[in-house]
Amino acid sequence: MEYTWKALLLFTFLFNKGIANDCVPYLVEDVLVACVCNATYCDGIPANRPEVPKIGRSHWYQSNKDGLRLKWSEVDFNQNAQVFSADVTLAINDEMKYQKIFGFGGAFSDVSGYQISKLSPATQEQLLRTYYHPRTGSKYTLGRIPIGSSDFSLRRYTYDDTPNDTKLKYFALSSEDMLYKIPYARKAYLINRGTRFFSAAWTAPEWMKSDDNGLSFLKPEYYQTYTDYLMKFLDSYAKHDIKMWALSTGNEPSDAFIFRNSNITMGWTPKTMSNWIVNNLGPTLTSKHRHTHIMAFDDDRSTLFKFTKSLLMNENSGRYIAGVGVHWYKDNITRATVLDEMHNDFPEKFILMTEASIGPPVWGTPNIISESWSRGEKYFLSILEYMNNWSIGWVDWNLALDQTGGPNLVNIHLDAAIIVNPERDEFYKQPMYYAIKHFSRFIPRNSRRISITDSNTVKATAFLTPSRETVVVLYNSANTPQRVVLKDFRRGNIQVELSPQSMNTFKYK
């Protein structure tokens, strides 16, 4: 009896709000802040839905502030041309082509794995599938793996904390690798074999570094020892069937100067990094792991150009570097044009957004109501901007955290796209999750970005997939509905009314 009553309430709610009926809503004061998943249930795209509709129609996936989550519908080309007065007209031109997309993903940090490990095996599986499954999930194809501890670890460690162990006799992976990183990264790979991993160390072992009041650098006499240390990491992960597509030169070298926290940071200057790459990392990686690329920088774009220009201009170091990793933390003070400049000067080097996150945690606080959608919107608009400025992908930070947003070694707790609740053996997918999925699920690897016009209220990006479908991703940032005409000179026009503050993905052949 009671069950029926609740089901009826839920149904009424879903009906009134127009929520896609596969999201189990988590409501705070009647506002949908997340969709609930557990061991037996998680919302997703039905495996039997065709990837694209018949010629002449488009799929349309919609999420919005009002509670839609990837609501699916179809829309026909060339309907009612006369009666539609458009607010915005966007023109697609697939003859103008830009970068090839490599993928989207998140990070297998120690703390993400630690939180995931508290769920039952079936719920863990559900969580990894909702990110990595190529049909029902987000189709993630990237995973970032910290080398040793990051700030999102339970303790500070490297793989060789035995002082002066210059032969690396005591090198060993940690229990964190065995318990929290390798099992989940492997599972992600088995769910989607297109998954590629890349890794970054926050620091070398303390004994390899000079330390001036917390500001630490790798000692030149240990340049090769540290390189060998990184090779041992690659060897050890390969033994566990995890091969690295790329190795970062180190997470956020600029943090060393700002935070002076030597255990989890290590400074580089363009000059020292260039010497290290030319004399040690480049040649050693080429001979020992020639399929692993060097990804330089891995830091905020505010210093991207200054730092990498000399690295890449120097032919000796430049030839070893495949591309650069960029973090989003100072994007609000650095225009995306730095990415354009970077691409124009070094068109053969890839640009990949490798870390984004938002703090402080708001799950379980009243702020969740105002923050949950706006954080999703921030993610969505960032992805769109990076896509429009040559990035080959976009990678979230912690795959999952609990409602405390930690633990964190320096007490910087954060929010995450998925919040786990071990007591109830369930997890909550916030708007940030859907923001990424609007891109990752529909833009497969090797899609090419193509040209689409933009407007102030409706932000746009477009792609051509390897099987020649067109994918258009739009955000209506207005508080009012916007009537949009999408003009594709091959197919004709699509006319749609985008709901206020809505994420939209169109896909057609």
Ligand X SMILES: *[C@@H]1O[C@H](CO)[C@@H](O)[C@H](O)[C@H]1NC(C)=O
Please state, in angstroms and rounded to a whole number, the distance separating the CA atoms of residues 385 and 414. Answer: 23
| From 74, 341, 355, 469, active-site residue | 355
Contact characters 154-183, ligand X, x per CB under 6 A: --xx---x-xx-------------------
Q: Are the C-beta atoms of 484 and 458 separated by less than 8 Å?
A: yes
**Chain-centre distance for alpha carbon 100:** 17
Query: Does 336 contact ligand X by CB under 6 A?
Result: yes
**Cβ proximity to ligand X, 1 vs 333, nearer residue:** 333
Query: Does 392 contact ligand X by CB under 6 A?
Result: no
Active site residue 355: yes
Active site residue 2: no
Q: Are the C-beta atoms of 223 and 234 separated by less than 8 Å?
A: no
Burial of 36 (0-12, 13-18, 19+ CB in 10 A): middle
Interface with ligand X by CB under 6 A: which range of 88-96, 138-146, 308-316, 329-337?
329-337
CB of 163 to ligand X, least distance (A): 4
Interface with ligand X by CB under 6 A: which range of 9-17, 37-45, 52-60, 116-124?
37-45
Q: Which residues contact 354 (CB under 8 A, 6 or more apart)?
A: 144, 198, 200, 248, 295, 298, 325, 326, 327, 395
**Cβ proximity to ligand X, 277 vs 409, nearer residue:** 409
Per DSSP, the residues of 410-467 read TS-----SEEEEGGGTEEEE-HHHHHHHHHHTTS-TT-EEEEE---SSEEEEEEE-TT
Write the DSSP symbol of residue 267: B
Interface with ligand X by CB under 6 A: which range of 74-82, 115-123, 294-302, 330-338?
330-338
CB of 225 to ligand X, least distance (A): 12
Q: Which residue in the block uniquely carries the two structure tokens 């993928």?
A: 103
Query: Does 340 contact ligand X by CB under 6 A?
Result: yes
Write the DSSP symbol of residue 275: H
Q: Which of 1, 47, 83, 333 binds ligand X (CB under 6 A)?
A: 333
Query: Does 385 contact ligand X by CB under 6 A?
Result: yes
Query: Does 248 contact ligand X by CB under 6 A?
Result: no
**Cβ proximity to ligand X, 31 vs 336, nearer residue:** 336
Please state, in angstroms and rounded to a whole number, the distance separating the CA atoms of residues 169 and 160. Answer: 8
Taking the CA atoms of residue 75, residue 77, residue 79 and residue 82 in that order, the dihedral angle to the nearest 10 degrees is 130
**Cβ proximity to ligand X, 142 vs 450, nearer residue:** 450
| From 176, 252, 377, 385, active-site residue | 252
Q: Are the C-beta atoms of 227 and 284 separated by less than 8 Å?
A: yes
Query: Does 153 contact ligand X by CB under 6 A?
Result: no
Interface with ligand X by CB under 6 A: which range of 112-120, 190-198, 382-390, 439-447?
382-390
CA distances from 185 to 128, 191, 351 (A): 9, 10, 23
The pair of structure tokens assigned to 22 is 């596969």
Interface with ligand X by CB under 6 A: which range of 43-51, 177-185, 217-225, 331-339?
331-339
**Cβ proximity to ligand X, 75 vs 91, nearer residue:** 91
Catalytic residues, by residue number, are 252, 355
Binding site residues, ligand X, CB under 6 A: 24, 38, 40-41, 156-157, 161, 163-164, 206, 262-263, 332-333, 336, 340, 385, 388-389
